[in-house]
Structure 1
Amino acid sequence: MAEEEEKTPLTGVAVAAAPGAAPAGWTVIAVTVEGAAANLGKSFGHKGGGYLCVSGGGAEAPPGPVVTDVLVLSDRSPQPAGYTRAPEFPEPRTGSSRKKRLYVKLLPLAAAETAVFALKLSSKSKALPHYLKIGEIGNFAIWCKKGPVQKPIPKPRTLSAALRQLSLQPPDSDHKSPAARSSIKRVSQHESLYDTSSIYGLSAMDGVPFTLHPKFQSKLTSGSNAILANLNVKSLADIEEEYNYAFVVERTAAARLPPSVC
C-alpha cells in the first residue's frame, strides 16, 4: 500500500475470489512487494484462488471500528475470543475446505490503543522492516504494520449570533488590549463590587449609592467619641436575662396526650 494510505487504521480485512469481486470501498492487494501476482491459491476454497483485500487506511479518520489485530490460523484451531472470521467475496460455499483461516479483531477507535495501518504480502524468504509477520497462506507471507492510534480531537464549539447577543459582555471585549480590559474591571466608589459579567454575579444593591442617614451624619462629623458615648454595652448575663425564654408553651403542648380514637 502507498504511504498516503497508511495515515489512518484499517477498518476491515477480507479475501476476494478475484480482483473484481471486492465490493466498493475495498482495496485488493493484487501484487506482492516483489511485484509478483498475489494470488493466494485455493487455500480459501475459491476456484480461481483468492486475493487479500482491505478497507480504510485513507487520510480521514474512520467513523466506525478499526482493525487492531489479524491472525492466520489453521482450520483445526478454535476461533480466538474477541476475533471474527474475515469475510469472503463472494460468500464461500458451505462445506468448502480451508487450510488456513483469517481472523480479525475490531475495536472502536476511542477504545483502541494500537491498530493495523497496512497489510503486505511477500515471498516466504523475504523480511520486511517495520512490519510484523502474522502468518503464511499458500506461497506467501503476510505482514502487517501496527502503530499507535491518534484519537480525533473534538472541534471547539462556537457561539451562534443569537447566543452571542444574550451575553452580558461587550461584543468587542475579546479584541481589546490587556490595558483596556483591566480598565473596564476597575470598580469606582459608586459601582458594585460584584462581577456583573454573569447574571449569577448580580446583586440587589448594584447601582444603589451609599449615603449616611442625617441622624448619624452630625455625630460622625463631631468625632468618634460622640458615637461611642451613646453605645450601651451589655454583658453576657444581661443578654441572657433579656432574651430568656423558658419554652413553657412548647413543653405544655408536647406533654399533652393525643385524643383517643373510638
Structure 2
Amino acid sequence: MAAAAPSPLTGVGWAAGPEAVPPGWTAITVTAEGAPAVVGKGFGHRGGGWYLCVRPAAAQPPPCPVVTDVLVLSERSPNPPGYTRAPEFPDPRTGVSRRKRLLVKLEQPSGAAAVLELQLSSKGKVLPLYTKIGEMGGFAIWCKKGPVGTRPSPDPRPLSTGMEQLSLQPPRPPPPPSRSKGRSPPESLPDPCGIYGLSAMDGVPFALHPKFEPKLSSGPAPILADLTVKSLADIEQEYNYGFVVERTAAARLPPGT
C-alpha cells in the first residue's frame, strides 16, 4: 500500500477581496505573525488592496497540473520559459503592483518537487523550512516545496521459520523442486512443529556401556544366551499373588460389634 504525499497547489493568484475569491480557492488573509495580509494597500492602487490566494489539488479532479515554482520579478524582466503571470480576480483592471509581478510555473506531476504552501510575513521575518520567493507590497512571500505523487511503501522483511510460527501471517510455501537430468534424493522438509518438536535426546550421540562391549565383540550368540524366554503361564505363575492378607483384613468385623 502506497502512502499519499502532501497535496500540492494547482494555482496561485490574486483576489481583490475575500469575497472575490473563486470557488475552490483560498485567500491568505493573515501573515505568519497574525497581521492582515492585504498586499498593495496604500501604494496608490484603487480599492482596499489584494489578497494572495491559492488553489489546493483537492479542488480539481486529477490529473491536473501542479505549481512547481513561483517567482517575483520586476515588470521589466522577461518571463522565463514555462512561467505565466498569476491570474487576478475578478479581472486585471488595476493590477497588484506597478513594479513587480508574480509568476507561476504549472507542470504535470511527475514525482518532482512542487509547491505545497505559501505564506506571507513582514520583510524582517524568517520562516524556517520555507524558501523566500521575494517581496511585494511590503510583505515577504515564502513557499514550501515537497515531492508529489505516491511513495512506494518498503517491502516487508522476510520472517524466519521460528518467527513465522508466532506470527499471524500464513506460512511461506516451500520452494519448487529443482529440475535436473539426474536423480537426487528429495530434500527433507523442516518439521512444522519447529523447536517444539525436538526432544531432550535429539543430538545426543549413541554410545554402548563398556560392560556390554565384550559380549558385543564376541558376536550376538552370547548376548542371546543370557535371554530367558517366558510364556504367559510362566509370567502368571511367577508373579501370582492371591491378596490373602488384604482379603482377610477386609473381612474382619470392626471391634466392639
Q: TM-score category by the smaller chain?
A: 0.5 to 0.7
Q: Deviations over 1:35-62 (max 9, x none)?
A: 1000002569552210000011559995
1:113 aligned to 2:112? yes
Asked if structure 2 preserves the Cα contact closer than 8 Å seen for 1:7 and 1:59, the reply is no
TM (normalized to structure 1)?
A: 0.52
- Residue 182 of structure 1 deviates from its aligned partner by 6.7
Tell me: CA distance 1:44–1:83, structure 2 relative to 1, closer, same or farther (3 Å).
farther
Asked if structure 2 preserves the Cα contact closer than 8 Å seen for 1:22 and 1:89, the reply is yes
Write the distance in 2 (CA, Å) between the matches of 1:94 and 1:122. Answer: 24
Of all paired residues, the percent bearing the same amino acid is 60
**Cross-structure match for 1:146:** 145
Tell me: CA distance 1:49–1:123, structure 2 relative to 1, closer, same or farther (3 Å).
same
1:1-262 equivalent positions in 2, closer than 5 A: 7-42=6-41, 45-56=45-56, 58=58, 62-93=62-93, 98-110=98-110, 113-151=112-150, 178=173
Write the distance in 2 (CA, Å) between the matches of 1:10 and 1:135. Answer: 18
Structure label with greater radius of gyration: 2
Tell me: CA distance 1:95–1:31, structure 2 relative to 1, closer, same or farther (3 Å).
closer
- Residue 148 of structure 1 deviates from its aligned partner by 2.3
- Residue 98 of structure 1 deviates from its aligned partner by 2.2
Tell me: CA distance 1:10–1:136, structure 2 relative to 1, closer, same or farther (3 Å).
same
- Residue 78 of structure 1 deviates from its aligned partner by 1.3
**Structure 1 consecutive aligned stretches of length 4 or more whose deviation exceeds 4 Å:** 42-46, 57-62, 94-97
Asked if structure 2 preserves the Cα contact closer than 8 Å seen for 1:8 and 1:62, the reply is no
TM (normalized to structure 2)?
A: 0.53
Counterpart secondary structure, 1:20: helix
Tell me: CA distance 1:151–1:46, structure 2 relative to 1, closer, same or farther (3 Å).
farther
Asked if structure 2 preserves the Cα contact closer than 8 Å seen for 1:18 and 1:49, the reply is yes
Write the distance in 1 (CA, Å) between the matches of 2:63 and 2:116. Answer: 15
Higher relative contact order (CA 8 A, sep 6+): 2
Write the distance in 1 (CA, Å) between the matches of 2:73 and 2:149. Answer: 29
